[in-house]
Structure 1
Amino acid sequence: MTPETDHTWLLDRLLDDTRPSTKHAVVLSKDGLKLYDSGGLSEDQAETFAAVASGIQSLSSSASRALGDGSGGVRQSMSEFDGGLLVIIDAGDGTLLAVLAEAESDPGFLGHKMTELVEQIGSHLISPPRDAEGIGRS
């Protein structure tokens, strides 16, 4: 990742605004590739986090198509589990923002802060589509 595309400072700002309940954040492409993360996780853990978030968002999109208005649109997905809370939102063209927080976190506040960040800097969070060989197109 080049300095021009490394926006980890954006994730640091989000975590600072939502501490102490938040643990990690990752920006990922909708197909599950980690673009950048807040640190604190190994590379394998961050990639797993991105893959899990992508999978949950994909299932939510399928539910929207089958049970919602048929568009597949998802504003936010949340998974609450023993020891944690995972919130995922659409973060721009082809990207998602996922945050892992303590189980006791306020999901409404967290979702609000995530949406606020995306509204302020969403243009930095765009992932161009990849062609069949997995190489980004301009």
Structure 2
Amino acid sequence: MQGLLERTPGARHALVLSRDGLKLCRTPELSVDQADQLAAIAAGIQSLSHGASAEFGDGSGGVRSAMAEFYGGILFIVEAGEGAHLAVIAAEDADAGLVGHTMAELVEQLGEHLRAAPRADGGPHTLPAS
């Protein structure tokens, strides 16, 4: 993922997350807390995008990508394998086409490595009693 930042002018941070908002991999420029926050934000945006697609798209709920422009930056999110997403934060003057293209290349290169299996349950994980 670091290569994505190096090859893409204006790209600042990158994160792979699971559908349910868990960070899987991050670039070192993101602190652990920032990565947790970005994972939650990106998962929420993707969830809302799936709802919009199901209601107003072809009914499949499929989402190719989502983008949020804010003062000081742009958040790009793409599907990155089954149950996984790639999120990139870029400067507000970044070339959106180039960022999207580079993200697509990374997803294709990493392929199956970006799969994120859903959690078995939502409960806390505990160790067996000894």
Q: Which amino acid aligns with 2:5?
A: L
For each residue in 1:60-118, what CA deviation from the matched residue of structure 2 results, as whole angstroms up to 9, or x when unmatched?
A: 11100111011110001000110000000000011000000000011111111101111
Structure ID, larger Rg: 2
Q: 4+ residue stretches of structure 1 with deviation over 3 A?
A: none
1:45 equivalenced with 2:26 (yes/no)? no
Residue 13 of structure 1 corresponds to 3
Residue 101 of structure 2 corresponds to 112
Secondary structure of 1:128's aligned partner:
coil
CA distance in 2, matches of 1:117, 1:131: 28
CA shift at 1:134, angstroms? 6.3
CA shift at 1:123, angstroms? 1.2
Q: Which amino acid aligns with 1:124?
A: H
Identify the range of structure 1 (69-78 vs 35-44) with the bigger mean alpha-carbon deviation: 35-44
Residue 26 of structure 1 corresponds to 15
Residue 128 of structure 1 corresponds to 117
For each residue in 1:14-66, what CA deviation from the matched residue of structure 2 results, as whole angstroms up to 9, or x when unmatched?
A: 111113x0110000001100011001122111100111011111111110011
TM-score (norm 2): 0.91
CA shift at 1:119, angstroms? 1.1
Residue 55 of structure 2 corresponds to 66
Secondary structure of 2:24's aligned partner:
strand
Q: Which has the higher contact order (CA 8 A, sep 6+)?
A: 2
Count residues in correspondence: 124
- Structure 1 residues 122 and 134, CA, compared in 2 at 3 Å: closer, same or farther? farther
- Sequence identity percentage: 53
Residue 89 of structure 1 corresponds to 78
RMSD: 1.2
CA distance in 2, matches of 1:78, 1:134: 32
Query: Structure 2 stretches of 5 or more lacking a match?
Result: 126-130
Q: Which amino acid aligns with 1:120?
A: Q
TM-score (norm 1): 0.86
Secondary structure of 1:92's aligned partner:
coil
CA distance in 2, matches of 1:22, 1:134: 35
Query: Structure 1 stretches of 5 or more lacking a match?
Result: 1-10
